[in-house]
Amino acid sequence: MNKKEKKINRRKFVKNAAKGYASIQVASTLPAYLFATSGCNPAEASIFHGVCYHDCPDSCSWEVKVRDGKVISFGGDKANPFTAGKLCGKMETFPEDITYHPDRLLRPMKRVGKKGEGKFEPISWDQAIREVGDQLKKTISEHGSESVLSHGYMGTQSLIQKSVMSNRFFARMEASDIAHTICGGAVIPANFEVNGTVMGVLPEDMVHSRYIILWGTNTKNSNVHQWPYVLKAREAGAKIIVVDPFVSATAKEADWHIQPLPGTDVALALGMMNVIISEGLVDQDYIERYTSGYKELKEHVKSYDPKSVSDICGLQEDDIIQLAREYAKGKPSLIRILVGIEHNYNGGDATIAIAILPSLTGAWRKLGGGLMHLTFEMGGLALNWERLDYHRQMPTQPKRTLNMVQIGQLLNNPDLNPAIKSIFIYNSNPMVTAPNANLTKKGLEREDLLTVVLEHFVTETAKYADYIFPATTQLEHWDIGDSWGQVYININQPAISPRGEAKPNSEFFRLMAREMGYTEECFKESDRDIVKSAFDSDHPYLEGIDFDYMLKHGWARYKIPEPYLPHAEGNFGTASGKCNFLGQSNSLPTYKEVAYSEEEKDNYPLQLLTIKNTKGFHNSSHANVKHLRRKEGRLWLDIHPEDANARNIQNGDELMAFNQRGKVILEAKVTERIRPGVVCMPHGYWPSLVKGGQASNNLTDDRLTDIMLWGGGAALQDCRVQVAKT
Ligand SMILES: Nc1nc2c(c(=O)[nH]1)N[C@H]1C(S)=C(S)[C@@H](COP(=O)(O)OP(=O)(O)OC[C@H]3O[C@@H](n4cnc5c(=O)[nH]c(N)nc54)[C@H](O)[C@@H]3O)O[C@H]1N2
Ligand SMILES: Nc1nc2c(c(=O)[nH]1)N[C@H]1C(S)=C(S)[C@@H](COP(=O)(O)OP(=O)(O)OC[C@H]3O[C@@H](n4cnc5c(=O)[nH]c(N)nc54)[C@H](O)[C@@H]3O)O[C@H]1N2
Ligand code: SF4
Ligand SMILES: [Mo]
């Protein structure tokens, strides 16, 4: 890793650590902050305010009513303007769907059957911790501490249960860490390359925009609380454009839907620049004052003329020209990106090209103009990271970081030195959410691998565990978190006692630390104390907001100076303070063909998108909840009539989609929502709950994106399949 990479890495690390949230709070006869733990509130019924733990840009605040230690009502917090009193459909019934679900894991379990068979018997916490500790000590003495892999992810993005105690534990052990690359692994470093930040226009300021491009993001589904701001802007005269290869729920509502071939956005953005520059629609003054690399960019985009771009993207030349003109003139113009744009080989360069556009036209000058991306830097600045990221101050650190996108390869790689001999999986379900699942399966079946999973359910991944430990849900533990899609901070007090023998992730790692003989004080700190210390900050974003305030109110909006015009006069986060068109790598974005083998192209002629377009599931979460599964229906494949006719496929037929990695059985939806040559399947379904036992990620490839900082993101959508009737 070179110096520049190190710099961006550390910076991202701190800021990404802020990707999280949570909360809960009080409004009852007796203030809940008088109670150190839950379950001892003598009041008849108490109302606690909290926040959704999902990896979601909205980070909704909620209200929970509790009587006799049981949740009696649950819903969105009406006082929080962003949540506006409404949770999304999949979370409305969260207590019964997750916390009180009859299949919820309530005791530690030890495997008795074969790996993957799902046969377990209960074991006591004491015994299970002792057995795992004994095996871990043996593994470390025989193979070294790096042979232990910490595989935590964003199943909860609330800061404490996401990683605070586990980070301390694995730093103390000097284990291997996992790079969090599957979501944001390309878009985050790419935006940093150009703008030195992922912050931009604030979510609420979208109402001031008059030309809005929702680029590779399904706002109506993935970011539902942003949608009202889109509508408000439209009422005020904004035109809404969606760039998406699929007619998503959001694209259906657009004033203009641009439907390029997947993975070609970089060419589209460069083509727009070609038109903007050649027609003199640039903001020359802004470019001169606040950007660098324009001369090179001007030369570079000459080869991305509308004709060449139309061939790459499968779009009309006129549409490219019109989009460029309208964008440049539609002041203020806003481009909204999230994560959907990155999941292909060109995802990093696509983000870089898009991130350049607002500086080329000077869109940043006006409120509502610029780029709207991620907001976690707010929490990264505001909170006390000395405490939250205490593990960074420890004398020992994880020895290597491995890329989660290629977990299957990592578990099977004979050359990895040392090989992974023990894996701790928490807040993550890689058997459903990581690509090339059949390879992951092969790895998790290894008899010489100790697999420990912390979970709410016996998920597809937990089935492969040697030990499963029952984790608490958001209603049962302390936590804190901010958001990556808006600018509110929340705390989370436990509203009810943990069900059964469930314990917070943090407590599991405290117990493991004791078992391993780690006697440092940091393993004694309680969750409540960590939450408290996080608000011990004098950053102006938290002016007047401390732990007591949070206990009383549950949530707060960061005190951000208004109007928030971060780059009206440059002030980018790059070393020069300028928007750097050449990026830190000193190169310009290009369109690159994906290197499929000839055989792959011949045998598997269709490109498969696997996208999060269910309403009921959140990634793989909730996909085991019956009423939500019923609403989604059978796993399906969207296929264009031309491709269906060529295969004699009718709407409703049972199909198989297959390639060299897997075979998925599903139902045909013959539709013009997708282009010829591309098919689309929803992501999130649990393989064991669909016919044939395989789902989206049994087909996807573990190919990496173009940007290799932090290991490279996941090119999930670069996947080829053939489709036939069963
Ligand atoms: N094909 C395809 N694959 C994808 C994507 C795609 O679009 N297409 N999207 C990718 C993206 S963007 C993401 S973010 C990833 C998500 O990947 P994951 O983070 O693996 O998915 P989730 O289903 O959100 O959560 C994983 C698990 O965390 C558990 N969990 C929740 N809270 C807690 C807790 O407090 N403690 C413990 N121990 N466990 C908890 C849940 O029960 C759940 O089983 O998937 C990626 N994979
Ligand atoms: N209901 C629901 N909401 C969620 C989630 C969920 O699982 N379910 N997951 C949450 C998570 S973890 C995340 S990261 C966010 C993600 O939120 P978004 O960033 O909106 O990402 P996705 O929903 O993965 O994909 C958005 C759109 O990108 C399109 N797309 C695919 N490939 C390309 C391409 O090459 N170019 C362009 N222009 N578009 C492309 C897809 O067709 C899809 O409609 O959503 C969060 N919100
Ligand atoms: S999943 Fe997202 S939209 Fe739904 S309640 Fe949670 S934060 Fe809100
Ligand atoms: Mo994600």
pLDDT at residue 29, rounded to an integer: 29
Which of 317, 345, 373 is a domain's end point?
373
pLDDT in tens, 517-573: 999 999 999 999 999 999 999 999 999 999 999 999 999 999 999 999 999 999 999
Phi-psi group of 476: left, alpha or beta (phi > 0 → left; psi -120 to 50 → alpha; rest → beta): alpha
Q: Are residues 339 and 398 in the same domain?
A: no
CATH number, domain containing residue 623: 2.40.40.20
Q: Are 128 and 120 in contact (CB under 8 A)?
A: no
Is the pTM here over 0.75, yes or no?
A: yes
pLDDT at residue 331, rounded to an integer: 85
Q: How many other CB atoms are found less than 10 A from the CB of residue 418?
A: 16
Q: Is residue 81 part of a domain?
A: no
Q: Is residue 449 part of a domain?
A: yes
> 708: pLDDT confidence band, cut at 50, 70 and 90?
confident
> Tokens representing 102?
């009859």
pLDDT in tens, 305-358: 999 999 999 999 999 999 999 999 998 999 999 999 999 999 999 999 999 999
When pLDDT is averaged across residues 233-250 and rounded to a whole number, the result is: 98
pLDDT in tens, 151-194: 999 999 999 999 999 999 999 999 999 999 999 999 999 999 99
Quick check: 643 pLDDT over 90?
Answer: yes
CATH number, domain containing residue 527: 3.40.50.740
* Ligand 3 touching residue 154 (CB < 6 A): no
Which of 373, 402, 437 is a domain's end point?
373
Q: How many other CB atoms are found less than 10 A from the CB of residue 124?
A: 12
Q: Is residue 191 part of a domain?
A: no
Give the closest residue (by CA) to ligand 3 atom 7: 59
Ligand nearest, relative to CA of residue 55: 2
Q: Supply the DSSP string of 216-279, one letter for each residue.
A: S--HHHHSGGGHHHHHHHHHTT-EEEEE-SB--HHHHH-SEEE-PPTT-HHHHHHHHHHHHHHT
Q: Are 675 and 247 in contact (CB under 8 A)?
A: no
Give the closest residue (by CA) to ligand 3 atom 4: 88
Q: Are 24 and 476 in contact (CB under 8 A)?
A: no
Give the closest residue (by CA) to ligand 1 atom 3: 433
Q: Is residue 59 part of a domain?
A: no
pLDDT at residue 585, rounded to an integer: 84
Q: Are residues 399 and 351 in the same domain?
A: no
Burial of 561 (0-12, 13-18, 19+ CB in 10 A): exposed
- How many whole angstroms separate alpha carbon 102 and alpha carbon 13? 38
260: Cβ contacts below 8 Å, ≥ 6 apart: 243, 245, 268, 313, 314, 315
Number of domains in the chain: 3
Q: Are residues 209 and 284 in the same domain?
A: yes
Angle at 693 between CA 622 and CA 654, to 5 degrees: 100
- How many whole angstroms separate alpha carbon 137 and alpha carbon 421? 12
Quick check: 253 pLDDT over 50?
Answer: yes
Q: Are residues 536 and 614 in the same domain?
A: no
Q: Are 437 and 662 in contact (CB under 8 A)?
A: yes
Which DSSP state fits 340?
G
- How many whole angstroms separate alpha carbon 719 and alpha carbon 707? 18
Q: Are residues 157 and 15 in the same domain?
A: yes
Q: Are 276 and 282 in contact (CB under 8 A)?
A: yes
Average pLDDT, the chain: 93
Angle at 287 between CA 284 and CA 289, to 5 degrees: 105
The SS3 assignment for 215 reads strand
Ligand 2 pocket at CB < 6 A: 55-56, 183, 215-218, 221-222, 243-246, 248, 262-263, 265, 338-341, 344, 609, 611-612, 615, 617-619, 684, 717
Q: Are residues 657 and 692 in the same domain?
A: yes
pLDDT at residue 374, rounded to an integer: 98
Separation of CA 331 and ligand 2 centre (Å): 27
- How many whole angstroms separate alpha carbon 7 and alpha carbon 2? 9
Question: In terms of Cα–Cα distance, which of 689, 587, 544, 670 is closest to 630?
Answer: 689
Q: Give the range of the structural domain holding residue 246, as residue numbers without chain letter.
A: 200-373
Q: Is residue 564 part of a domain?
A: no
Quick check: 76 pLDDT over 50?
Answer: yes
> 590: pLDDT confidence band, cut at 50, 70 and 90?
very high
Q: Are residues 369 and 384 in the same domain?
A: no
